[in-house]
Amino acid sequence: MKRYITAAFCLVGVLFLIQSSSGALPVIKSKSGIEMVQIPAGSFVMGDEKGDVDEEPHEIYIDAFYMDKYLVTQEEYEKVMKENPSRWQGKKNPVDQVRWSDAVKYCNARSLLEGLQPCYDLETWKCDFKANGYRLATEAEWEYACRAETR
């Protein structure tokens, strides 16, 4: 049975820039016109005291990075991948029914369209974090961004 990511996804642009001193998060537009917001560098405690051994609370440090401001829409996905796997059709709806491997292929394809170096090796599925293309957020980056400077 194939496993799908039923939740939509956002991409991370590997653009490590200086943190803004104003209160608003800096927004840029990618070459393809997609808005990205800068997530400032910082730290947080990840894990749960009641969780498994590998989930014990520990401090995580995150460098500044850019993340898509909105979930990847079906329209954006189809523009890059020339297909729309979504069950809940609608151009502005988030893309759904996407496997992790499909999301990674989208990251590479969008990187190539914008003249960037793809992050993923599609044979080994490893991510080159030094590449300047798009990639999926790590678990720590996603949790940090979702917390929005809250506990």
What pLDDT is attached to residue 23?
55
CA angle 127, 52, 151 (to 5 degrees): 75
Question: Residue 33 contacts by C-beta under 8 Å, 6 or more apart in sequence?
Answer: none
What pLDDT is attached to residue 22?
46
Quote the pTM value.
0.80
What pLDDT is attached to residue 49?
77
Q: How confident is the chain (151 residues) per 10-residue block, as mean pLDDT?
A: 48 42 74 92 87 78 94 96 96 96 97 97 97 96 86 63
Q: What is the torsion angle, in degrees rounded to the nearest 10, for the CA atoms of residue 113, residue 119, residue 120 and residue 126?
A: 180
Q: Which of 126, 134, 129 has its CA nearest to residue 106?
A: 134
Helix (H, G, I), strand (E, B) or coil at 39: strand
What pLDDT is attached to residue 26?
83
What pLDDT is attached to residue 50?
77
User: Rounded distance, CA 37 to CA 23, Å?
Assistant: 13
What pLDDT is attached to residue 149?
72
What pLDDT is attached to residue 110?
97
